[in-house]
Structure 1
Amino acid sequence: MKHPAKEFRVLNTVSDYTRFYGLPAPAHPLLTIVDLAYARELARTQNLPPVTTPVVQQLYTVFLKRGLKGTLYYGHQSYDYSEGVLGFLAPGQVFAVDATLDTSEVSGWMLTFHPDLLTKYPLGKKIASYGFFSYEVHEALHLSAREESMLDSVLSIIQNEYEQPIDTFSQDVLVSQLEVLLSYANRFYHRQFLTRRTAEHDLLSRFEALLNAYFAQYGEQPLPTVQYFADELNVSPAYLSDMLRSLTGQNTQQHLHHGLIEKAKRLLLTTSLSINETAFQLGFEYPQYFSRLFKSKTGLTPAAFRMSIN
């Protein structure tokens, strides 16, 4: 799959965003809402060409798209948005559209806001816990009609407040309703993990096979990383961890630690390698870190484990 060009435009503010896409100026300096059907008609009546330049926006965006025909690029992945889905962009992520994108029937909405909107609120810290902001587009959230309606209702409240003159309470109301929207999205995303069991179990099987093959290797090798396994499985690290936690109760790092400890036990019991040599064989640069990890997982130091078995 050909990826979008490396040259891109940086959008630092909400005003940068609306100007770049030929949209009306935002009614709030830190947030804007775009009706996609309206934007489609605006582009048609003004005969505006499609914007295909890749962008890096220093903003958050939540978007619900329906009727879009074609490919969007998100980071190094692509996704065909022929279905209505909810997607997420976080600051610093690359976004682009294919030149053949057909927006003639697009509808839905986009909610874009600057991180400064959240600075003085708990949501400013909590938003980092929403893993869907780091997902690739092919991991977007598929909604039922009822779920779409619920999100549309919350957006309507945000829209109403957004269109009011700014006063002392404006930001409080916007942020509180934004948190409701993200909380619903979080619930729906975790529901998706429960209803897409076939695909997720297939991914779990592939992960376990990859993990077993990695630890079956003999000889010194690098410590396994979450990024390595995510890349091999063509998913993002956050998605892989959420999937594993949903199905097994443990995230990717916990699975890797378990694999390391099991291999360490085999080496300690079946070879004459010293503790330091065992650590190096497993990829640890510092043997003392290996000893600490081993004890934290087993309750024994590597030496005590070897002696207890012997």
Structure 2
Amino acid sequence: MQSRTAEKQSLFKIMKQPTKEFRVLSTVTDYTRFYGLPAPAHPLLTLIDLAACRNLPRVMTPVVQQLYTVSLKRNLKGQLFYGHQSYDFSEGVMVFLGPGQVFAVSETLDTSEISGWMLVFHPDLLLKYPLGKKIASYGFFSYELHEALHLSAREESLLDDILHGIQSEYEQPIDTFSQDVLVSQLEVLLNYANRFYHRQFLTRRTAEHDLLTRFEALLTTYFAEEGEQPLPTVQHFADELRVSPAYLSDMLRSLTGQTTQQHLHHGLIEKAKRLLLTTSLSINETAFQLGFEYPQYFTRLFKNKTGVTPAAFRFSAQ
């Protein structure tokens, strides 16, 4: 398994692009101009028919987009680069990208048979609506591409119907109600995607339960280590499992009812109990052993999770 450093070096080698050649796409118009697409009919949103993009020249310059994209890609042959890894999208999948994410394509990407659609919208589209705050709760905008949404035929048809509604409104002349209607339809689309993602956690049981098993094994190994350790982080375990922190937490919540952070806290408390009962370490020394820089934080977490302080717990067991 490659380390994150090796993956990053590999990606940069493939791209052959210095950092200064990354393009930042800040507006929807920036996006359509950069990729040679038709000008947007709305200043904050555009809808792209991917089949119409088959003969467009490939743009190799990696980009950082300050936009949201929601896409359903079919028959895409080749690799896309995202973050530090590359992924193959020969299957039809749904992908969500949030602002600030790095994206590039390989030289061998074949779009000659691509179909599907893509929504590109600026965060300002949502500013005056509740969705502007709610969108942060959709974890899938932080997922890695290999955690894309695999749709059933029925689900794909349902989302296509919603997309047709958005397209119909998008093609209408803009009036005072246009943005209200577009945002409400977009929220319906995202709510269905959220439902389908949670279904995927349950129905793709082999892959998800394998991930759960590997997470539990890593957790057991981590807390079995002797001596001082840094505090465990969600990012550390996500990196070890090669998934995004958001995906790992959503998967664990669906299968176990607890987030990654809750699992880590449980492991910390169980190890703390063991140290308190089987060693002569002071409370402060126990805190340092567990990775806490400040013992008072350890005491606060322990009491929050158990209802008693570390000292009271040790005393009650004597």
Taking structure 1 as the reference length, what is the TM-score of the superposition?
0.96
Q: Residue in 2 aligned with 1:46? A: none
How much has 1:144 moved relative to structure 2? 1.2
Q: Residue in 2 aligned with 1:26? A: 40
Q: Residue in 2 aligned with 1:35? A: 49
Residue type matched to 1:135 in 2?
Y
Report whether the alignment pairs 1:245 with 2:259.
Answer: no
Aligned pairs for 1:162-177 within 5 A = 162-177=170-185
Q: Distance in 1 between matches of 2:251 and 2:178?
A: 37
Q: Residue in 1 aligned with 2:26? A: 12
* Secondary structure of residue in 2 paired with 1:164: coil
* Secondary structure of residue in 2 paired with 1:64: strand
1:77–1:138 CA contact under 8 A, matched in 2: no
* 19-28 or 3-12, which deviates more: 3-12
Q: Residue in 2 aligned with 1:284? A: 292
Q: Residue in 1 aligned with 2:209? A: 201
Q: Distance in 1 between matches of 2:175 and 2:135?
A: 25
Q: Distance in 2 between matches of 1:181 and 1:77?
A: 28
1:69–1:81 CA contact under 8 A, matched in 2: yes
Q: Distance in 2 between matches of 1:205 and 1:83?
A: 26
1:77–1:137 CA contact under 8 A, matched in 2: no
Report whether the alignment pairs 1:182 with 2:190.
Answer: yes
How much has 1:77 moved relative to structure 2? 2.1
Q: Name structure 1 gaps, 5 residues minimum.
A: 44-48
Report whether the alignment pairs 1:230 with 2:235.
Answer: no
Q: Distance in 2 between matches of 1:52 and 1:127?
A: 30
Q: Residue in 2 aligned with 1:268? A: 276
Q: Distance in 2 between matches of 1:244 and 1:38?
A: 39
Report whether the alignment pairs 1:92 with 2:100.
Answer: yes
Q: Distance in 2 between matches of 1:250 and 1:90?
A: 25
Residue type matched to 1:68 in 2?
L
Q: Distance in 1 between matches of 2:84 and 2:195?
A: 27
Q: Residue in 1 aligned with 2:63? A: 55
Q: Distance in 2 between matches of 1:193 and 1:255?
A: 18
Q: Residue in 1 aligned with 2:4? A: none
Q: Distance in 1 between matches of 2:101 and 2:200?
A: 23
Q: Residue in 2 aligned with 1:149? A: 157
How much has 1:60 moved relative to structure 2? 0.2
Residue type matched to 1:308 in 2?
S
Percent identity of paired positions between Structure 1 and Structure 2: 83
* Secondary structure of residue in 1 paired with 2:280: coil
How much has 1:103 moved relative to structure 2? 0.6
Runs of 4 or more, structure 1, over 3 Å off, are 4-7
Residue type matched to 1:283 in 2?
G
* Secondary structure of residue in 2 paired with 1:33: strand
* Secondary structure of residue in 1 paired with 2:94: strand
Q: Residue in 2 aligned with 1:306? A: 314
| 1:176-200: CA deviation from partner (whole Å, max 9, x where unpaired) | 0000000111111111001111111
1:241–1:252 CA contact under 8 A, matched in 2: yes
How much has 1:52 moved relative to structure 2? 1.6
Work out the number of aligned pairs and report it: 304
Q: Distance in 1 between matches of 2:197 and 2:218?
A: 26
* Secondary structure of residue in 2 paired with 1:142: coil
